[in-house]
Amino acid sequence: MRVALIGGTGFVGSYLVEQLQAKGHQPVLLVRPGSEQRVAASGVEQVAGEVEDTAALRQLLTGCDAAIYLVGILRAYPERGITFERLQQEGAERSMELAQELGVGRFLLMSANGVRGDGTAYQRTKFAAEEALRKSTLRWTIFRPSVIFGDPRGRMEFATQLYRDLVAPPLPAPLFHAGVLPLGAGSMALSPVYVGDVAALFVAALEDAASVGQCYPVGGPVTLSWKEILQVIARATGRRMVGVPVPAWGVKLVAGWLERFEAFPITRDQVTMLMEGNVCDAGALFARLAITPTPFAEEALGYLRSPGPSA
């Protein structure tokens, strides 16, 4: 099966390319000029272009049996043309329209757990892409993963970022809480899911008739609080995690002034989504597709120690 990947040079994409090839599929990647070095696997077809380049998308999708849209960002930089609307919504909609026109048929979308039409800009644009896909004539499947962990291979990744920004520095890690009193500090729950397991679900869904027309929340086999996640990362890297309660409203107030600077590590919307938690159960899906998910635990975080957590 020829499979077009939009966003295939990113974190999840690098694992997906490998698993597609292992199953005998031919991945075809849309590659932004200057990102050619991100395609590590051999035998991968490449089409140069951006998500707004209709001609490049047409070339990418022509002759493909399926398409997978993986593009997603955690933070917008409008002055550089990096916006949620452009990348998560408009690019996805353009890809869907062309896939229908060219008879691609099968279309898989990477969304996110917790998206909704009245949420943050990240959540709204992911949800809008879902709605466009549901209204299409494509045989679609939507995956909504919780936070994804695994060796970043030089990309941005959940546990690596937490290690670098919160665990490694010689300062207490923030345990966010709502309100004024530090009740339930650091108790927000998440279901981290391993990147290789996410890639395996995408590949399995390509030939799984039961997944057509389905939207799947995807979480790992264990649910942990924010505090517990930081503690696991600390143990995996031989550190001692010391936390301090921090009011979420205070961080959002500061972020309102400083988030326009790239060096500031968090935005108001990111705090909002963190406080909502990010929990889901994909046990039945993993079992049906015969995939044994990897738990977020010390033994799965060796990449934080070597070659280095800042990779």
Rounded distance between C-alpha atoms, residue 265 and residue 210, angstroms: 41
- Say yes or no to pLDDT of 302 above 50: yes
Lowest mean pLDDT among 193-202, 224-233, 262-271, 291-300: 262-271
Rounded distance between C-alpha atoms, residue 99 and residue 152, angstroms: 30
- pLDDT 10s digits, 263-284: 888 999 999 999 999 999 999 9
Lowest mean pLDDT among 37-46, 47-56, 149-158: 37-46
Residue 166's CB is within 10 A of a number of other CB atoms, namely 20
- Which among 286, 178, 168, 141 is positioned nearest to 230, based on CA atoms? 168
**Residue that has been written with the tokens 């996640």 in this structure:** 229
* pLDDT computed for residue 151 by the predictor: 97
Annotate 85-110 with b (16+ C-beta within 10 A) or e (fewer).
ebbbbbbbbbbbebbeebebebbbbb
Q: Which two tokens stand for residue 219?
A: 């979480």
Which pLDDT band holds residue 310 (cuts at 50, 70, 90)?
Answer: very low
Rounded distance between C-alpha atoms, residue 42 and residue 168, angstroms: 35
Which pLDDT band holds residue 40 (cuts at 50, 70, 90)?
Answer: confident
Is the distance from CB of 84 to CB of 73 less than 8 angstroms?
yes
Rounded distance between C-alpha atoms, residue 176 and residue 137, angstroms: 43
* Residues paired with 47 in a beta bridge: 30
What mean pLDDT comes out for the span 145-174?
95
Q: For the chain, give every domain's residue range.
A: 2-145, 149-191+219-311
* pLDDT computed for residue 311 by the predictor: 42
Residue 50's CB is within 10 A of a number of other CB atoms, namely 15
Rounded distance between C-alpha atoms, residue 196 and residue 225, angstroms: 22
Fold of the 2-145 domain: Rossmann fold (3.40.50)
Residue 86 neighbours by CB under 8 Å, 6+ apart: 51, 52
Which pLDDT band holds residue 309 (cuts at 50, 70, 90)?
Answer: very low
**Residue that has been written with the tokens 């010390």 in this structure:** 298
* pLDDT computed for residue 111 by the predictor: 98
pTM: 0.95
- pLDDT 10s digits, 173-220: 999 999 999 999 999 999 999 999 999 999 999 999 999 999 999 999
